Amino acid sequence: MPLAIVGARLLDGRSASPLDGDTLVVGEDGRIASIGRSRSAIPDGSTVLDAAGATVIPGLIDCHVHIGGAHERLEAAIARTYTESVGQMLKVGQAWLESGITTIRDAGGAPAGLKKLFAGGWPGPRLQVSVNPISITGGHGDGMSPSGVILDGDRPMTEIPPAIADGPDEVRKAVRAQIRAGADWIKTFSTGGVYSMMDGPGAVQFSVEELGVMVEEARLAGIHGVLAHAENAAGIRNALVAGVRSIEHGDGIDDEAIDLMLERDVPIVPTFLISYRMLEPELVEQGITPPWAVEKQQALMPDLDRNFRHAVERGVRVAMGTDGVRDDHLPRELKHMVDHGLSPLGALRAATIEAARLLDLADDLGTLEPGKIADLALVTGDPLTEPALWGDPARVVAVVQSGRVVADRR
């Protein structure tokens, strides 16, 4: 059944000015059929959604989530079965969708079967997966603790294959295992990180040769490419030289790395939300964010602000990513990006146009144009003057995915 949204202010990232029209018609194929002011374009029998007072934007795209993750104490994490984890992924997928995020790229932990469930009708975002991120022994993706206890949990190897690899041959095999398991992307760690026990953000992990093997295998398999967790400048440069498609976090980016990003047209996915979330007093006081992670994250905060502002000033593309887990389904990242130097229009572009471009979905998503898939979010207020609205679920009054109303709070 066709859908008509009437009385709306239509806004996308191509301009700070609303589109010329207040009526958006969606065809039976789930794509935008027309945008204008005439109600005569509305087909007979259409469902009419009165959006008076609301702003319609393209559905938001989060390029870095962990749909299977959670902020929780260790005993809760290790007591949960994989079946329970998948159930929680389905539940949080619906929460993300209803908050206006209609497409996500999972940066590690989600099986390809989840993508099939969402595509088959279970409520959830359009999903791209990287299955299990590739890590060196003792690196950011190695779940072994200093005592020798492995904290990765009991996951079925057919759906989440092992991904610890050292040297080009082991890397090649690990990458191929993820592709066999249905990976759309290969995720890797070119540096250490905050949450891992055995390393830190200053550690450089994987050689350019090893990273290049990942890029080559992704290209040969015809998948989207490689995304690299990269905190320090040397690791960022290694990943860029190897040919990755996006730099995740990028706290320690320097001018040499920025030069490479501009030359190769590689975006940064900054993930401010997780940086603030893990330092929230409640998580720190309960020990959910352990002391060693608090120390590392606090040390990164000055670089996070200064270096991102510099990258934006120099013209590096930005795509939205939150590093969000189960409790982080609201797209507060848009406000964080504005707080750290991106314009409100730039933040909207990062969550729509630039994110769609990164995920190779620009032909179908990211703007309000006839022919595009009708993924839409209706919000009260103006995201260009009130980016903080994304922290209030009541401000998202309706969500449309592929032309179907999936949430309506009017």
What mean pLDDT do residues 386-400 have?
94
Sign of the torsion angle spanned by Cα atoms 195, 201, 204, 210: positive
Question: Which amino acid type is present at position 392?
Answer: D
φ, ψ (nearest 5 deg) of residue 404: -115, 130
Residues in Cβ contact with 201 at an 8 Å cutoff, skipping those fewer than 6 apart: 191, 192, 193, 194, 231, 232, 251, 252, 296, 299, 300
Q: In what order do the strands lie in the sheet with 396-401?
A: 9-10, 54-58, 376-380, 396-401, 404-408
pLDDT at 147: 77
H or E segment and range at residue 104: strand 101-106
CA distance 213 to 357: 24
Q: Is the Cβ–Cβ distance between 199 and 139 less than 8 Å?
A: yes
| CATH number for the domain that contains residue 384 | 2.30.40.10
| CATH number for the domain that contains residue 278 | 3.20.20.140
Is residue 83 over pLDDT 80? yes
The first and second tokens of residue 77, run together, are 């994490």
What mean pLDDT do residues 178-189 have?
98
pLDDT at 148: 74
- 197 and 336 housed in the same domain: yes
Angstrom CA distances, 382 to 19, 55, 103, stand at 14, 7, 22
Question: Which amino acid type is present at position 143?
Answer: G
Q: Is the Cβ–Cβ distance between 34 and 3 less than 8 Å?
A: no
- 147 and 206 housed in the same domain: yes
Is residue 111 over pLDDT 80? yes
Residue 309: band (very low, low, confident or very high) from pLDDT cuts 50, 70, 90: very high
pLDDT, tens only, 208-258: 999 999 999 999 999 999 999 999 999 999 999 999 999 999 999 999 999
pLDDT at 68: 93
- 228 and 194 housed in the same domain: yes
Q: Is the Cβ–Cβ distance between 188 and 226 less than 8 Å?
A: yes
- 106 and 226 housed in the same domain: yes
HSE-up (13 A, CA, CB side) for residue 339:
14
Note the Cα 293 to chain centre separation in Å.
22
- 52 and 193 housed in the same domain: no
φ, ψ (nearest 5 deg) of residue 291: -55, -40
Residue 153: band (very low, low, confident or very high) from pLDDT cuts 50, 70, 90: low
- 175 and 313 housed in the same domain: yes
Nearest CA among 229, 223, 142, 242 for reference residue 185: 223
- 319 and 403 housed in the same domain: no
φ, ψ (nearest 5 deg) of residue 63: -85, 0
Residue 19 lies in domain: 3-58+367-408
- 48 and 186 housed in the same domain: no
Is residue 154 over pLDDT 70? no
Domain total in the chain: 2
- 212 and 310 housed in the same domain: yes
What mean pLDDT do residues 184-194 have?
98
CA distance 298 to 68: 25
- 136 and 111 housed in the same domain: yes
- 245 and 298 housed in the same domain: yes
CB atoms within 10 A of CB 24: 26
Average pLDDT along the chain: 95
Angstrom CA distances, 77 to 31, 70, 71, 151, 153, stand at 41, 8, 9, 9, 8
Model pTM?
0.97
- 170 and 220 housed in the same domain: yes
pLDDT, tens only, 167-182: 999 999 999 999 999 9
pLDDT, tens only, 314-337: 999 999 999 999 888 889 999 999
Taking each helix axis from N to C end, the angle separating 255-264 and 233-242, rounded to the nearest 10 degrees, works out to 20
Last residue in a domain, options 337, 358, 379: 358
Residue 121: band (very low, low, confident or very high) from pLDDT cuts 50, 70, 90: very high
